[in-house]
Amino acid sequence: MEDNKKIKKVIMLLAVLLGISVVALGGAVLGQYIDASKPVIAEVGDENDPSESEPPQITPSDDEGNFAITGENAERTKTALYRGHSEDKKTFIIDDMSPGDKKYEGYELKVNYSGTIVVRFKADVTVDEKVGGGAADKKLADVLMVRINIEGNTVYEGALGKMPKEITHTLTSKEKTSECVDYDIYAWLPSGAGSDYSHRRLEAELCWWVAESEAGGSYSGQLEEIPDTGAPAPIGALAAMAAASLAGIIAFGSGKKRART
């Protein structure tokens, strides 16, 4: 009788362990599935998220086209390129700008790659419409001035509507690596533009991409998968624990039946 009570307690303990193992195993598998289904992981932010910090203050100088961004640690919109995700897009919006107004947006592009690759960038105007006063037939993109900086170096300055079809930036690494590249966009509507270009809404689709078809050609590099920086879920250990608990329950249950007979 006493032996049966001990066996019963052991079986109950093993049953509890089995239940815990199964629940934890299911959670680990579900967690990995959710992580794998995310289009952009960890480093990528949403510029439309209202929880983001306010954009940095713009300090104008005597020259309309030159203005500094205060705060070295200004928040940047996150974007990324990696194997299986060779293109990423964000929306740049100008809403009801008046002559003399300025706007700044900063972006941090994280690229997972190896070898030598060319990161391409462009800005396609998708919306340019009247929202208030001003002439309906005028296009803000024709007069809106922009300066595009990559890693602090100016690669384009001129009207947004006359930007090149692509602006390239070459990255090189002998080993697999994750490299962050800063893009700064300074936009301003010149004071001399006049009221015809006021009260308009403009949206430009910013696009970063790597032409993966170039791999093996003049450029030897390629995009790489996102490195796993988190602790992996111990799926194997949880499965082993569940199996051992189940085996123990079966073994002790059989022993208990034999003891009764």
Predicted confidence (pLDDT) per residue in 200-212, tens digit: 899 999 999 998 6
Burial environment of residue 253 by CB neighbours within 10 A (0 to 12, 13 to 18, 19 or more) = middle
**What would the two tokens of residue 174 be?**
């002998």
Which pLDDT belongs to residue 46? Answer: 39
**What would the two tokens of residue 179 be?**
């490299």
Q: Is the pLDDT of residue 13 over 80?
A: no
**What would the two tokens of residue 9 be?**
């307690």
Q: CB–CB of 179/111 below 8 Å?
A: yes
Q: CB–CB of 203/100 below 8 Å?
A: no
Average pLDDT (59-79) is 65
Where are the strands (E) in the chain, listed by range?
A: 58-60, 67-69, 77-81, 87-95, 102-130, 145-150, 153-159, 167-188, 200-209, 222-223
Angle of CA points 232, 236, 241, to nearest 5°: 125
Pick the most confident of 46-50, 95-99, 224-228: 95-99
Instruction: Please state whether 100 falls in left (phi above 0), alpha (psi between -120 and 50) or beta.
Output: left
Which pLDDT belongs to residue 232? Answer: 46
- Cα–Cα distance measured from residue 158 to residue 185, given in angstroms and rounded to the nearest whole number: 12
User: What DSSP assignment string belongs to 51-84?
Assistant: TSPPPPPEEE-SSTT-EEEP-TT---EEEEEBTT
- Cα–Cα distance measured from residue 71 to residue 241, given in angstroms and rounded to the nearest whole number: 52
Q: Is the pLDDT higher at 11 or at 52?
A: 11
Q: Is the pLDDT of residue 131 over 60?
A: yes
Which DSSP state fits 233? P
- Cα–Cα distance measured from residue 256 to residue 261, given in angstroms and rounded to the nearest whole number: 9
Pick the most confident of 91-100, 104-113, 194-203: 104-113
**HSE (CB half, 13 Å, CA atoms) of 246?**
9
Q: 46-50, 143-147, 150-154: lowest mean pLDDT where?
A: 46-50
Q: Is the pLDDT of residue 165 over 70?
A: yes
* Averaged pLDDT of the chain: 75
Strand 77-81 with 102-130, pairing: parallel
Average pLDDT (18-46) is 49
Is the pTM higher than 0.75?
A: no
**What would the two tokens of residue 53 be?**
């910090």
Instruction: Give how far Cα 259 sits from Cα of 2, 4, 90, 247, 256, Å.
Output: 11, 8, 71, 18, 5
Which pLDDT belongs to residue 167? Answer: 96
Percent of the chain with pLDDT over 90: 41
Predicted confidence (pLDDT) per residue in 186-200, tens digit: 999 998 887 888 888
Q: Is the pLDDT of residue 128 over 80?
A: yes
